[in-house]
Structure 1
Amino acid sequence: MFIFLPANTANTDSATFDHVNTPTAYWEIAVTVAVVLLTTALVTVVALLACAGAGKLARMDNASYPAALSRAATTLAAVITLAALLT
């Protein structure tokens, strides 16, 4: 079964393909919303991991806590911006 179903599924033989005659527009919307939410969650997790890594590397480089936090925030903003540009 494909994830993206066709919007127009008119079929004359309803005895054989009963599942094809059901409206799939609602399924397409639900799948689109699910893909958007999962992609947003994935981008958020990747951005937070990059942010934590940048902060940890800054602290290992003997940066102060405010400087490490600034580098982490810059990395977070850069990853979110890059993801927005790709969409």
Structure 2
Amino acid sequence: MNRTAVVLLATAVVVLFALLVAAGAGMLARLDGAGYPAAVVLAGAAFAGTLTLAAVLTACLVALLRG
């Protein structure tokens, strides 16, 4: 039960961090003069990239810990 809670909490933290990165990327795109559609596309790319990076790092850590 404790392990499930830790996994769910870690997942929530990663998703929250990805949302913050996406919001920052969208805001920077708007400040740079991009339109709303372009800013949303850039924010989505940043969100997807952050989640992909988190998944790759998790896979690497699991592989290292299993030896």
TM-score, normalising length from structure 2? 0.84
Corresponding position: 1:77 with 2:60: no
1:2-13 → structure 2 map (5 Å cutoff)? none
1:1-87 → structure 2 map (5 Å cutoff)? 30-87=1-58
Q: CA RMSD in A?
A: 0.5
TM-score, normalising length from structure 1? 0.65
Q: Number of residue pairs matched?
A: 58
Aligned mates of 1:64, 1:71 — CA distance in 2: 11
- Kindly report structure 1 stretches of 4+ aligned residues shifted beyond 4 Å: none
* Percent identity (aligned): 55
Q: Which has the higher contact order (CA 8 A, sep 6+)?
A: 2
Q: Which runs of 5+ in 1 are unaligned?
A: 1-29
Q: Which runs of 5+ in 2 are unaligned?
A: 59-67
CA deviations on 1:35-84 (whole Å, 9 max, x unpaired) are: 10000000010000000000000000000111100100000000000111
